[in-house]
Amino acid sequence: MKTNTVQPPEVSPIVVKDLTVGYGERIILQNLNFEIKKGQIVTLLGGSGCGKSTLLKHIIGLYPPMQGEILIQGRSIVTANETEKREIMSCFGVAYQGGALFRALSVAENIALPMEEMGHFTKDEIKERVEQKLALMHLEGFGNFMPSDLSGGMIKRVAFARALALDPALLFFDEPSAGLDPLTSDMLDDVILEIREKTGATIVMVTHELPSIFKVSDRVLMLSRDEKSIVDDGSPQWLRDHSEIPFVRAFLSRNKNN
């Protein structure tokens, strides 16, 4: 006799509950509540000083929040001890603004670093994985190059490759297109979409680049410096055309008279 088994609901990669963040006694954002679903590309957006990068840094565990909860793959990064936090952080990769490559290390050595820090990969496994990530980023043959030998777009792709080193389910990109020309930025957007297609990763970005936002983002969380909160949430196209908040429509259409 067959019995129907009920599958447990899928855990959202990121769940934020009643979150307040800031520095010292200064509150930047407060009472945030949102979930990010598996496979989404979500952009944190808003004007200068609204707290986009601050929120990102709290989600990835660089700073403790003033209050609230952040769950990564169902596990609290807020209350985790150091061992647990290290395990949680192995589930995601981060590409920082400007690439943040180690200038004294080659491209291959930069990508290998997260695997070496984990300590359970053999040299052959590391070499194979580095070659795989270089191929995914269309950088075959550049493993022995130094960061100083690379263009801005290539540095960004190496940073992506390093973020992908441990095959994470979550990726965080801080201003991935900053400082790039429009054609290189457009190419990098294609790379981001390819990463999602080939790995199924959930991606959270901070960026001001509207063409990139409309090309790659499934969803935008619109932050407000005045409200210290998320004021709107939806696809960039829908928010641009239908948001009830004039500031949001104006921001996404670059229309100061909206």
Q: What is the pLDDT of residues 156-183, one digit of tens each?
A: 999 999 999 999 999 999 999 888 899 9
pLDDT tens per residue across span 201-242: 999 999 989 999 999 999 999 999 999 999 999 999 999 999
* Confidence at residue 240, expressed as pLDDT on a 0 to 100 scale: 97
- The three-state secondary structure class of 218 is coil
Please, what CATH class does the domain formed by 37-51+91-253 belong to? alpha beta
Average pLDDT, the chain: 92
Query: 59 and 69 in contact (C-beta within 8 Å)?
Result: no
* Confidence at residue 11, expressed as pLDDT on a 0 to 100 scale: 84
pLDDT tens per residue across span 63-120: 999 999 999 999 999 999 999 999 999 899 999 888 899 999 999 999 999 999 887 8
pLDDT tens per residue across span 94-105: 998 888 999 999
Q: Which DSSP state fits 120? A: -
Name the residue among 161, 173, 165, 192 with its Cα closest to residue 95.
Answer: 173
Q: Answer whether 0.75 is exceeded by the pTM.
A: yes
* Confidence at residue 118, expressed as pLDDT on a 0 to 100 scale: 82
- pLDDT over threshold 60, residue 3: no
pLDDT tens per residue across span 16-31: 999 999 998 999 999 9
The residue ranges of every structural domain in the chain are 37-51+91-253
Give the residues across from 44 on adjacent strands.
206, 221
Instruction: Specify the length of the chain in residues.
Output: 258
pLDDT tens per residue across span 179-201: 889 999 999 999 999 999 999 99
Question: d(Cα 211, Cα 224) in Å, to the nearest integer?
Answer: 21
Query: 194 and 181 in contact (C-beta within 8 Å)?
Result: no
Query: 196 and 181 in contact (C-beta within 8 Å)?
Result: no
- 240: its two tokens: 């641009």
CB under 8 Å to 202, separation ≥6 — which residues? 13, 14, 36, 37, 38, 39, 40, 41, 42, 169, 170, 171
* Confidence at residue 177, expressed as pLDDT on a 0 to 100 scale: 86
